[in-house]
Structure 1
Amino acid sequence: MQIGITLPFLSSRFFNMQSNGLSAVEKKVAASLASVFGLRMMGLFMIMPVFALYGQHLTGFSPFLVGVAIGAYGLTQALLQIPMGILSDKFGRKPVIIGGLIVFSIGSLVAASATSIYMVIVGRALQGMGAIAAAVLALAADLTRDEQRTKVMAVIGMCIGFSFALALLLGPIVAHHLGLSGLFIMTAIFAVIGVLIVQFFVPNPVRHAPKGDTVAAPARLLTMLKNPQLIRLDAGIFILHLTLTAVFVALPFVLVHAGFAKENHWKLYFPTFIGAFFLMVPLIIIGVKKKNTKATFQISLLIMLASLAILALFENQFWLIALGILLFFTAFNYLEASLPSLIAKFCPAGDKGSAMGVYSTSQFLGAFCGGLLGGSMYQWVGANGVFIVALVLVGIWLLLSLGMENPVLLKSYTLSTKIRDKAHAQEIAAQLSALTGVAEAILITEEQAAYLKVTDQFELESAQAILKSSD
């Protein structure tokens, strides 16, 4: 039985294209965990394009509280993302993931039964308390070989992007036919399916991948906040998700005022999001050919500035609004895809877990603040105010990017090894550093792991031979 057929989101043809070199177990891990991640994220995303329009019957409804409800999950996600990852190290990945999905399901049912917007906010906050992202990624690392781990993470990342596109399609359709309650019940069902996938499809890990590559280390978090390149990227993901959430507080109202019926919004969101993927391709090609990621990064910020300016200036002209949305998604898709890669390139070897912990926290805080900002600005000054404030923030991000270094194209490897003591670790590190293509080599005795950052000239077999001979 083809796992890509039996699990959501991933067809066998799509998956086989992404899985060159993966073992049968790694294919199963990638498909199952990507499906779990995608189902959960789609449940979170589906409310974004519809809540402002379909929640107006709720007691206490106001644009400000719409923003709070949309962004509430971000606050609890930000607070619990790192602790949940650490708990998964102590109690196991699967129990934490299953527990998080159950909490998410309970939050969805609370929101589904709500008659006031305040209870929806409580439900959304509970959804966010099921913060399983770090545990899922750590489990993926536990179940994959070091040299194949990046491919599995890429499949998971692609599934998240696809889930967002599908949420823009399904959200308005489900809300139109089943109402807001039906939408939340569907998200609860998604979470239950996720539990079944984790329980019956995801293999049980027999080891933990080294912590530095997967789970944040509290002692290293402050160091990540002192790194000027990483802090620019953390500020960037904060602004990006703040802008996304704020825009989706105001945009549904704008489309209705422009004469576009709410049940038809998916006919605009979905094709513009898919079209944006194709428009994003030239940015990727330019960045690779010119080896100038910084330039294409800044071009995408300029595209986002243009999109927000169009939305602010032409809120009553439907086709210009559509153009603004298309440009917004083009920039968003590129930035959302490139930021995690840049984090991995700039973070010190062995600190990816900590760097991604700070990054994820910044992302979810941005979603929460975007809900607050979008709701309050729309209530007090209207949609124009939302788009203008977002434009100013993206402009600040563009200024911050001027000090960004152009990253060197390095790959990361995490290799398990046997280290007797500190002197032994230094000896192995010196041998690894002398290899062609090794830019950085760090060995950590407590984790029995070697972390390498390398160029294309690096030969993995040479490093493996050194580690084997040192056992």
Structure 2
Amino acid sequence: MSVSGLNRIEKRAAFSLASVFGVRMLGLFMILPVFAIYGEQLAGYSPLWLGLAIGAYGLTQALFQIPMGMLSDKYGRKPVILAGLVVFLIGSVIAALSTTIYGVVIGRAIQGMGAIASAILALAADLSREEQRPKVMATIGMFIGLSFTLAMILGPIVADAFGLSGLFWFTGFLTILAMLMIQFMVPYSVSKAPRGDNVALPEQISTLIKNPQLSRLNCGVFILHMSLTACFVTLPKQFVASGLALENHWQLYLPTLLGSFFLMVPFMIIAMKKEQEKPMFSGAIALLSVALFLLWLLPTGLWSLVFSVVLFFTAFNYLEATMPSILSRLAPAGVKGSAMGIYSSSQFLGAFAGGIIGGLVASRYGEQSIFLVMALLSLIWLAVSFGMQKLKKSKNFSFITNIKTAEKVEEISEILISMPGIIEATLVQNETKMGDKESSNAVAYLKVDEKLVDLLAVKALLQQDLS
């Protein structure tokens, strides 16, 4: 098999898993651009319950994300993913049948309990070679971004045609489609990828939470998604008040999101090619703060809203796209799965907090004050970001080795760390699972500089008979 590109199984796995992930996130996001308006028609409506309905999935996602990944390690990826999709479908049906705001909150919370993100990423790792794994993960990330854009466009169209209940029935249909894709499109696999690099391990979590560099990212993604959810407690109403009917909101979201994407790309290129990632990262947080202050300060005319929203999504898309990459480089070798589990939980907790805080602020101080509160929190994030260490160009790889003794683990670790391009090398025994059998072979977790490392030489060293 060529190491230069994805093989047939990897392509199939990347597309099918990315599609499942994207379809599910589409169902979660479609409520954002419409619920602030349609939610007012439900019995029991209040700004606080509106915020709860928008953000409820975030709390249960955060609580179930890591346990579902661990269950997939024990019982298999596909069964856990399918079970999560069934739970998500049940939540969608409950929300579709609800005539009260309370029923929608319960439905959204149950949707979040189907937390399959970590299991999907682990399955993607199982189905790809070490050197091709970043491409598969990038494909999934791209589909997540696309799902958000489609949700902003399709949400108003579906809600206008079929109402709020129709929106949740459509989400249920998408979930059934995702289940069929998992069953018939995703290749079968046993759990073969090293666990620590893909699935969160409980014993690592407390240490990683205290890591000052990772905690900056976790706090950042919390504030980022809190701002997004809180803003959508009021933004759709403001667009309607400025003269844009709800059924036409897609006409605003489509050029706004596309425009923000094209504005974001040059900054990403500059950051990568000029090695200015840290300044550009802080600059994007500053832009987010400016956009939120403008939403608070400027009159609620259509063009001022459009201008501010374009700035907001330019910053949001840049941060959303670059933060997972930063996380993978800051995380110590061999614990990326645990680091990503904490990061994802922080992200979903932020979505939940945004709904709560947005609803509370709107009920007590008026909806316009939501933007001020989020802008101030973004400034705190900006101040925290200045302490982030300079990023080194690196990638993480994991290799199953033929090393079977502790003595050889120490010996090979010393050889690895002395090789050109190896930034970190961690060897761990008794982590490999093939079906129902456990292997005593060690797993090598490496953080490398791709320009300097000779991966073929590394693999040759690790795969020779070292028993």
Same fold, TM-score > 0.5, yes or no: yes
Do 1:431 and 1:466's aligned partners in 2 also have CA atoms closer than 8 Å? no
User: What TM-score do the two structures reach when normalised by structure 2?
Assistant: 0.95
- Residue of structure 1 equivalent to 2:436: none
Select which of 358, 370, 394 maps to 2:342: 358
- Residue of structure 1 equivalent to 2:242: 258
Deviations 1:9-41 (A, max 9, x none): xxxxxxxxxx97000000000000000000000
The answer on 1:117 being equivalent to 2:111 is no
CA–CA distance in 1 between the matches of 2:362 and 2:417? 55
Deviations 1:98-128 (A, max 9, x none): 0000110110000000010000000000000
User: What TM-score do the two structures reach when normalised by structure 1?
Assistant: 0.95
Give SS of 1:452's match: strand
Report how far residue 97 of structure 1 moved.
0.2
Do 2:89 and 2:172's aligned partners in 1 also have CA atoms closer than 8 Å? yes
- Residue of structure 2 equivalent to 1:108: 92
- Residue of structure 2 equivalent to 1:466: 461
Give SS of 1:146's match: coil
Do 2:424 and 2:448's aligned partners in 1 also have CA atoms closer than 8 Å? yes
The answer on 1:415 being equivalent to 2:399 is yes
The answer on 1:203 being equivalent to 2:187 is yes
- Residue of structure 2 equivalent to 1:221: 205
CA–CA distance in 1 between the matches of 2:6 and 2:274? 30
CA–CA distance in 1 between the matches of 2:407 and 2:206? 27
Do 1:276 and 1:333's aligned partners in 2 also have CA atoms closer than 8 Å? yes
Give SS of 2:430's match: helix
Do 2:76 and 2:191's aligned partners in 1 also have CA atoms closer than 8 Å? no
Give SS of 1:424's match: helix
- Residue of structure 1 equivalent to 2:443: 449
Alignment of structure 1 residues 365-404 onto 2, 5 Å: 365-404=349-388
Report how far residue 289 of structure 1 moved.
2.6
Give SS of 2:193's match: coil
Select which of 284, 291, 311 maps to 1:327: 311
Do 2:149 and 2:254's aligned partners in 1 also have CA atoms closer than 8 Å? yes
Give SS of 2:332's match: coil
Deviations 1:389-427 (A, max 9, x none): 000000000000010112111111111112212221111
Select which of 8, 11, 14 maps to 1:30: 14
Deviations 1:401-454 (A, max 9, x none): 010112111111111112212221111111211211111111101223111111
- Residue of structure 1 equivalent to 2:33: 49
Deviations 1:236-261 (A, max 9, x none): 00000000000111111111222221
Alignment of structure 1 residues 158-173 onto 2, 5 Å: 158-173=142-157
RMSD of equivalent CA atoms: 1.1
Do 2:153 and 2:253's aligned partners in 1 also have CA atoms closer than 8 Å? yes
The answer on 1:74 being equivalent to 2:68 is no
Point out 4+ residue stretches in structure 1 off by more than 6 angstroms. none
Distance 1:315 1:102, change over 3 A: farther
Do 1:258 and 1:315's aligned partners in 2 also have CA atoms closer than 8 Å? no
Deviations 1:336-389 (A, max 9, x none): 011111110001000001100110110000000000011111122222210000
Report how far residue 43 of structure 1 moved.
0.1
Give SS of 1:458's match: coil
Do 2:230 and 2:357's aligned partners in 1 also have CA atoms closer than 8 Å? yes
- Residue of structure 1 equivalent to 2:328: 344
Do 1:254 and 1:315's aligned partners in 2 also have CA atoms closer than 8 Å? no
Moved more, 41-50 or 202-211: 202-211
Distance 1:272 1:395, change over 3 A: same
- Residue of structure 1 equivalent to 2:162: 178
Deviations 1:177-220 (A, max 9, x none): 10000000010111111110000011111332101111111000
CA–CA distance in 1 between the matches of 2:418 and 2:7? 31
Distance 1:265 1:93, change over 3 A: same
- Residue of structure 1 equivalent to 2:412: 428
- Residue of structure 2 equivalent to 1:12: none
**Paired letter, 1:463:** V
CA–CA distance in 1 between the matches of 2:308 and 2:277? 24
